[in-house]
Chains A and B, each alone.
Chain A
C-alpha cells in the first residue's frame, strides 16, 4: 500500500485511508485529508523535510512522519473532486460599498 510519504512531486493520488487516531486524525480530516479526496503532491523539502500537497483549494505542508499515516492510491488524471459539485451558481461576490 502506498502512503503519501512515498509519493513523488507532480503525482496525483486519491486518499484511501487515514491510519491515525485522536488529534492527528481529526486535524488531517479537518484539513481535507480524508478518504475519497484527491490530492496533488507539489514538492518535497530537502533532507526528509515536509511534503507540500494541494487538496481542492487548500495547500498543506505536512511532515514525512505524519504523511506516512495517509494511505493513497495513485491516479493519473485530475477530474472534478466530486461530480455532485457541478451545480451552476451565481458568483458569491457581495455588492461593492
Chain B
C-alpha cells in the first residue's frame, strides 16, 4: 500500500482533483495528533493500491497558520511515498516555490499543473518537458474540472510510484527543519520553462468587476443577489420539506402506528414521539442544506464570494471579523445550520469560532414562523411589520454585541489577504458532489445528537407516565414551575416556559407545542395567548425566543464543527444570558414606562 499526499495552495482546484481521483469512495477521518479531519481514499494506480490524502491548502511550509501546522505534522508523522504538489498553472510564477520547497526538503514529489485550460487562455506558456528537466521532478498538466489530461496524470502517478521510495520520518523531520524559501529555485525553473504574458487580457472580467466591486453599485447588487439566493433556497426548499414531512407522517400513520398499536403506551410514545420525531427533525433540514450548498458552490466557485467579502470587509473588520463572515451571517438568516458549516472556508480557527458564535443570533426562518404567529395574535396589522422589523434589528444588534465582546478571546492570527480568483463557471459535477458530501456530513455528525435531544424533551414532557403531554404535573411542568421565579420578571408565564423547552429542539415546533399546552388550535390559541399576556410580555417572549439557545441541529453543528464541548457550552450559556438580560431590560423598562 502506497500513500500519496495532495499538497497545494488554496484555490488550485486541489479538492476538485481529489474528488476526481477518488470519486465517491473518499472517507473523512481522524489522523493521530491532528486537530482536523482529512479526507482520504484508496485508489488503484498502475500496479499499485494507493491511499490518497487531501491535505489542507497552504501557502508554504512555515507552519505559521493552523493549516500549515497540520501539513507539517502530517509529513512528520506519516510515511509518504509521494507528495503530489498541485499548482494553478496560471499562477505558476508564485506557486512553483512550494514544490521547490518540498523537493529541497527531500520529499519525493510530482508536480501537477492544474487549470491548464485557464493558463492557456491567459497566455501562460509552460514547456512541461523542460520544466521536468530543470526541476528534476515528474510534471504533468491537466484540467481536473473538465477532465482534460486526467488519464495522463493517472499514468504518470502509477509510473512514479514504481520507483519512488518513502522518505524516512527522521529524514522528513530534518528536511522540514532546514526548509528554505523556494523562491530562488523556482525563479530558475520559471526562467527556463515558462512564458508569462506581459499583460493579462481579460477585459470582460474587468468590466464585470467594475460594477460588481463598484463602491456604490456593488453593495446594493450584493444585497439583491443574496435576497435572490435566499428566496430561491426557501421557495424551492419549502415544498421539499413539506413533501418529506408528508412521507414521514405517512410512514408513521400507515406502518409504525399499526406496528406499535399493541405496545405499551410509554414504548409507543418513546419510539414514535421521541426517536421517530427526532429522525424527521433531522430529515427536515436535508432539503435546505442541499439547496444551500448548491448556491454556496455557485457563489464560491464562480469567484463572487471573495468579491462580496471585498465589499463588506470594512464593516466586519471593526468587529474582529472579515468580509466572508458577513456572507455567512446573511445565510444564517435562512438557516443557521448550513451557515455554520459554510464557515469552513475560514482557515483561522479564532476567526471561524468568532463567526460561528454570532451566526446563531441570525433570525432564521424557523424563528420567523413563531414571530409571525405571536405578532398576529397580539399586535394590530398596522404596527405588526414594524414589530417584525425591530426583531431583525435586535438580531443584528445581538450579533454585533457578541462579536465585539468576544473578539479578544477569538482573535485571528491570520492577515486578511484574499485571492480573487477569475470568474469561473462551476460544473454540475462540482455542485452535486459538494451538496451531497455536505449533506452526508450533517447527517453523520448531527443525527445521534438530535435524536437524543428530542428523546430527552419527550421524556421531560411525558414523564411521569399517565399525565397529559406537557401538563403541569409532568417533568416539564415542574421545570416550568421551578423556573417561574426567573421568568416572572421577564413577563413570561409557565406555559410559555414549557414552549421554550420545546423550542430548544426546533423553533418550528414551538407553536405546535403551544397548541398541546393550551389544548387549543389556530385562532382560538391566539385569542387565549392574547388574553393571558400583554403585548410587552409577548415581545419579551419573542426577544427571548430570538436570542436564547438555538435549535438542537444548530447546537449539534456547533459542536461537530468546533469539535469542542467547552466552546459549544460557552455559546449556549452566552446566548441564554444575553436572552435573559435583554428580555429583562425590555420588560422592566416597558413596565417603568407604563406599557406593560
Taking Cβ atoms with an 8 Å cutoff, the residues of A that contact B are: 22-24, 26-32, 34, 42-43, 45-50, 52, 54-63, 66, 78-82, 84-97
Chain B interface size range: 35 or more
Are B89's CB and A97's CB within 8 A? Answer: no
Q: B387 interface residue, CB < 8 Å from A?
A: no
Q: How many inter-chain residue pairs (CB < 8 Å) link A and B? A: 174
Are A24's CB and B415's CB within 8 A? Answer: yes
Q: Complex formed: what's the CA distance from A89 to B197 in Å?
A: 12
Are A50's CB and B119's CB within 8 A? Answer: no
Are A22's CB and B122's CB within 8 A? Answer: no
Chain A nearest CB, measured from B396 CB (Å):
18
Are B215's CB and A45's CB within 8 A? Answer: yes
Chain A nearest CB, measured from B27 CB (Å):
28
Q: A80-B196, A89-B195 are in contact. List 19 more A-B contacts (CB 8 A).
A: A23-B65, A27-B414, A27-B417, A29-B181, A30-B9, A30-B98, A31-B59, A31-B94, A50-B418, A55-B94, A61-B306, A78-B198, A80-B198, A81-B93, A88-B195, A89-B126, A91-B120, A92-B89, A95-B152
Out of A46, A85, A89, which one reaches B215, CB within 8 Å?
A: A46
A78 to chain B: which residues have CB within 8 Å?
198-199
B93 to chain A: which residues have CB within 8 Å?
32, 56-57, 81
Binding site secondary structure of chain A: loop
Are A23's CB and B148's CB within 8 A? Answer: no
Are A92's CB and B120's CB within 8 A? Answer: yes
A91 to chain B: which residues have CB within 8 Å?
120, 125
Q: Which residue of B lies closest to A47 (CB)?
A: B314
Are B215's CB and A23's CB within 8 A? Answer: no
Instruction: Pick the most buried of A78, A79, A97: most chain B CB atoms within 10 A of its CB.
Output: A97
Which 7 A-B pairs have CB atoms at the shortest separation, nearest pair first? A94-B149, A49-B314, A30-B59, A89-B127, A23-B64, A59-B420, A92-B126
Q: Complex formed: what's the CA distance from A30 to B99 in Å?
A: 12
A86 to chain B: which residues have CB within 8 Å?
195
Binding site secondary structure of chain B: mixed
Given A23-B64, A87-B195, A94-B141, does the pair A60, B418 have CB atoms closer than 8 Å?
A: yes
Chain B nearest CB, measured from A3 CB (Å):
15
Are A63's CB and B59's CB within 8 A? Answer: no
Are A52's CB and B125's CB within 8 A? Answer: no
B427 to chain A: which residues have CB within 8 Å?
none
Out of B59, B128, B152, which one reaches A26, CB within 8 Å?
A: B59
Q: B85 interface residue, CB < 8 Å from A?
A: no
Are A31's CB and B419's CB within 8 A? Answer: yes
Q: Complex formed: what's the CA distance from A61 to B310 in Å?
A: 7
Q: Which residue of B lies closest to A79 (CB)?
A: B198
Q: Which residue of A lies closest to B97 (CB)?
A: A30
Are A57's CB and B150's CB within 8 A? Answer: no
Are B149's CB and A85's CB within 8 A? Answer: no
Out of B9, B149, B414, B422, which one reaches A95, CB within 8 Å?
A: B149
Q: B249 interface residue, CB < 8 Å from A?
A: no
Q: Complex formed: what's the CA distance from A90 to B123 in Å?
A: 11
Chain A nearest CB, measured from B70 CB (Å):
15
B167-192 CB contact bits vs A (8 Å, 1 = yes)? 00000000000000101000100111
Out of B9, B143, B311, which one reaches A94, CB within 8 Å?
A: B143
B115-137 CB contact bits vs A (8 Å, 1 = yes)? 01101101011111010000000
Q: Which residue of B lies closest to A53 (CB)?
A: B420
Are A29's CB and B313's CB within 8 A? Answer: no
Within 8 A of A (CB), among B298-324: 306, 309-311, 313-315, 317, 323
Q: Complex formed: what's the CA distance from A31 to B113 in Å?
A: 17
Q: Complex formed: what's the CA distance from A3 to B330 in Å?
A: 34
Are B94's CB and A85's CB within 8 A? Answer: no
Chain A nearest CB, measured from B239 CB (Å):
39
Report 7 cross-chain contacts, Cβ distance below 8 Å, ordered by A residue.
A30-B98, A31-B417, A34-B183, A55-B94, A80-B196, A85-B196, A97-B151
Are A81's CB and B196's CB within 8 A? Answer: yes
Are A57's CB and B122's CB within 8 A? Answer: yes
